[in-house]
Amino acid sequence: MTITSPAGQPPRVSGLDQAAEKTGLALPDGTTRLITAPKVRVKKGERRTFADNMRRMDHVDAECMRLILAAGVEAIGIEDYAFQKRSSGTHRLAEIGGAVRLACWRAGVAIAVINVKHLKMYATGDGDASKLHMGAAAFQFAGTVFASEDECDAAWARWLILDLLGHPEVHVPAEHRHVLTHITMHRKEAA
């Protein structure tokens, strides 16, 4: 897939790392944001309601899309779900992630869903790298320290997609880059 930008300009790429409670978003200008789902106060012995979950999903989806559209994002790298993790937050994460992916698709933003291990290999050379290692790699290759792990992972997703599209912003060792062959961009077809 080709992303066309003004001559000589890199494409406007974002990165996204979603969790059930917080979402890291890296914007085309290199800044990051942490989008936090509204807290739900549940009395002891009670559960979150459907409305609670819908408000959370609506907030994250609306805030992500507001920032993505305002930045003129042309392509986005989204860290895939960690399928091996099983927790009560898994379903909420899938719902929130699906809403944001669909909104990007509808807006015509090219999407690449990046396997967690591939993102870690790109950043560190180790598919089992910890969040601490991801942060250390961001400092090593970009001289950057992030306020949260979610923002760090989102930045790595952005950097990977920029490299995939031929506009690397960070220069990782060649052996880290082999994962680029496993990444595919998808965009909604014109009607």
User: 33, 8, 7: which is closest to 18 by C-alpha?
Assistant: 33
Q: How sure is the predictor about 56, in pLDDT bands with cuts at 50, 70 and 90?
A: confident
Please, what sign has the CA dihedral across residues 39, 40, 41, 42?
Answer: negative
The answer to the question of residue 90 being in a domain is: yes
The answer to the question of residue 79 being in a domain is: yes
CA 101/CA 76 separation, integer angstroms: 10
Question: Angle 161-163-167 (CA atoms, 0-180°, nearest 5)?
Answer: 110
pLDDT of residue 84: 63
The answer to the question of residue 116 being in a domain is: yes
Largest CA distance in the chain: 59
Mean pLDDT of 167-179: 97
DSSP state of 182: G
CB–CB of 163/180 below 8 Å? yes
CB–CB of 81/5 below 8 Å? no
The answer to the question of residue 6 being in a domain is: no
**Both structure tokens of 147:** 């306020």
The answer to the question of residue 44 being in a domain is: no
Return the higher-pLDDT residue of 53 and 171. 171
Mean pLDDT of 32-58: 86
CA 28/CA 96 separation, integer angstroms: 22
Domain that holds residue 80: 13-38+49-182
CA 116/CA 94 separation, integer angstroms: 15
CA 163/CA 135 separation, integer angstroms: 19
Amino acid (1-letter code) at residue 112: A
Whether pLDDT at 88 is above 80: no
Q: How sure is the predictor about 47, in pLDDT bands with cuts at 50, 70 and 90?
A: confident
The answer to the question of residue 67 being in a domain is: yes
Domain CATH for 17: 3.30.420.10
134-143 tens-digit pLDDT:
999 999 999 9
Whether pLDDT at 86 is above 80: no
CA 160/CA 177 separation, integer angstroms: 9
The answer to the question of residue 174 being in a domain is: yes
100-132 tens-digit pLDDT:
999 999 999 999 999 999 999 999 999 999 999
pTM for the model: 0.92
CA 88/CA 163 separation, integer angstroms: 35
Q: How sure is the predictor about 7, in pLDDT bands with cuts at 50, 70 and 90?
A: low
Helix (H) or strand (E) holding 24: strand 22-26
pLDDT of residue 141: 98
User: 63, 45, 64, 42: which is closest to 53 by C-alpha?
Assistant: 42
Total tally of structural domains belonging to the chain: 1
Ranking 45-59, 61-75, 165-179 by mean pLDDT, the lowest is 45-59
The answer to the question of residue 137 being in a domain is: yes
